[in-house]
Chain A
Amino acid sequence: MFEDYFYLLRDAGVPVSITEWMTLQEALDKGLDGQSLLDFYYLARSVLVKDVKYYDQFDEAFAFYFKDKELPEKVRKQILDWLNDPRARRDYAMRFPEFFEDDVDLQRLRELFEERMREQKERHDGGNRWVGTGGDSPFGNAGFNPAGIRVGGSGGGRMALQVAMDRKFQNYRHDLVLDTRQIKVALKKLRQLKRLGDEEELDMDETIDRTCKNGGDIDIVLRPPRKNTVKVALFMDAGGSMEPFANLVNTLFSAAHASNHFKDFKYYYFHNCVYEYLYTDIELERRVPTGQVLRELDKDYRAILVGDAAMAPYELTSGYGGIYYYHQAETPGIEWLKRFERHFRKSVWLNPLDRRYWNGWTTVEIAHLFKMFPLTLQGLDEAVKALV
């Protein structure tokens, strides 16, 4: 039954498995889909989607499938690819024939599509409504305005679409930015448990086992406790261009600080780029020589640098490049960054800016040195993987 919906969900990035799809079929067989599309919406969501972070993608796909309003972001990208690939295009045309009438000039279609998307991006903030408000779009439906839906509607069909189109779960998306708790969960993955130190913990199971085997004579077994051996050093840019992200960086900091499972946690601030001195406070008043910090932190510290990596080229490459007089320093910033990269066995750079702004010259240079990830939940996940 409507297998194309299954594939649409997968294309939209919802990890639906065959098992779950079969469960949905079973539920439908048993008549559990209820009276309305709304009931079906909740049924399908509960059976197919197991994490809130995919609800938004699910909503997008649901709204698209049952009333073409918005094309899920991932699918949108794929359409562009498909338009470039005749074989895939035919395949897709069979699935969604309404987009691919024979007499449509493909080049024109592509242009229109891109143009429409550009327009939308400019009009709404990051909007992805690829369908315009007019009724002449070759991309299928049109003239759909969410504000125009009445709640209640007939047979509940519109209700379900409304719920789906509300996209209430947008904030739970994996690729969006995050709160303290989410960061803590992400950082929790940064661990390496080892049994270390003296044998001081009573191994209850082993003691009982050995005692039983010993015929009741108590045989005590000790073992060293498990400890996380990961040490973390966080370096945060507190420069002017980071102002808009102050909250985000703060959140990251408090999450890392509260994650008491690290063996050690050190943090420093820098201004724009790393120069001779690092700061131990966000006001940049108490400074320590960078060289001393590198001496104190051994190479096993996982270094996380946070910054927008955006600055004037000379700030990165010239001696005395710092923009503030107290930064007058012989060694250029890039040299310090290279020292960082060489010093720590594992290091990453987290960038609060969206990936599409990463084409600045300094950003590219820094991304050559450090693995750079966006400061989103997904980016953090990937960064943690790179650090373990």
Chain B
Amino acid sequence: MQDIRISQFNVFKGSDDYIASPELQNIVNVAITLGKPLLIRGEPGTGKTKLAHSIAGALGKRLISWNIKSTTKAKDGCYIYDTVQRLNDARFGDKDISDIKQYIKLGPLGDAFKNAGDVVLLIDEVDKADIEFPNDLLNELDEMRFTVAETGEVVSATRRPIVVITSNAEKELPDAFLRRCIFFYIEFPGEKMMADIVHVHYPDLEDRMLKACMSRFYELREVRALRKKPSTSELIDWIGVILKSGVDVATIEKKYPFIGVLVKKEQDYAYLKGTGTIRDD
């Protein structure tokens, strides 16, 4: 019997450009070992999508991104039968259109099945699609195979690819789908972790500057009336702008320069101005 404990090769410990909390690292490894899709939820900007990039980078695998849109169908993930191309070719007659195979294009799921050992499949924002979408995926994810109806070809995976699914909780996901996943909720990072994250992006940032930016940032997040709270990625952007523009620490301790990077809603801006949190000068 083979050793079923975590193999030395598939151990995720975060990567240089991504700080993962120990419990998140652990759960990633659990999902990999159990061969179950990992469902990630969390506030916008907490690095759900980046996690998949980081896993792929850390384990030396290729990332296949499948960005879900409201019109995405489960079948598109397996393969697309390009009838329009075939129709087009038929009109000019310079190709052999009887060979249907050349009009079958594997989708992200098909691609991941074919190269299961070497890829990380990211199904991004699964909740954007129709409510039935996750259920349609179930069979394929369970059996790791599907049949191309037009040619009868079977695409199957010998090993389970690493699958990361992100969701913004816009729609509730079906229970049958949830039962098969390992679930992790990325919490909004606390100050210490946030400092680590900022450090990854700006290793040379001065301590005082970091403290000033972070305290301003958390102060803003504390404002309960905000419709959209600034997120981690916005803090990173904000610090980036501040560094580029050369605003000094004293200014940041007093006010919010480049507030537009942190606050994106007109109502929020108006509110902050009305309450005197930000001023025009």
Residues of A within 8 A of B (CB): 15, 17, 19-20, 23, 26-27, 29-32, 34, 38-39, 42-43, 46-47, 49-52, 55, 168, 180, 185, 188, 208, 211-212, 216, 254
Contact = CB atoms under 8 A, between A and B. Distances in A.
Interface in B85-121: 87, 90-91
Contact of B169 (A15, A31, A185): A185
Interface of B: 4-6, 23, 26-27, 29-30, 33-34, 36, 39, 41, 83-84, 87, 90-91, 169-173, 175, 178-185, 187, 227
A27 B34 contact: yes
Contact of B33 (A17, A30, A42): A30
A49 B183 CA distance: 7
B30 A19 contact: no
Contacts of A19: 179-180
A23 B26 contact: no
B91 A43 contact: no
27 contacts: A15-B175, A19-B179, A23-B34, A23-B182, A26-B34, A30-B34, A32-B6, A32-B30, A39-B23, A42-B23, A42-B27, A43-B26, A43-B27, A43-B30, A46-B27, A46-B182, A46-B184, A47-B183, A49-B183, A50-B173, A50-B181, A51-B178, A51-B183, A55-B185, A180-B227, A185-B170, A188-B171
B247 to A, nearest CB: 32
A46 B30 contact: yes
A27 B27 CA distance: 11
A38 B172 CA distance: 28
Given A52-B185, A180-B227, A216-B90, A27 B30 contact: yes
Nearest to A20: B179
A31 B5 contact: yes
Nearest to B88: A216
Given A20-B179, A46-B183, A208 B84 contact: yes
Nearest to A182: B169
Contact of B29 (A26, A29, A32, A38): A32
Contacts of A30: 4-6, 33-34
B266 to A, nearest CB: 13
B183 A42 contact: no
A52 B91 contact: no
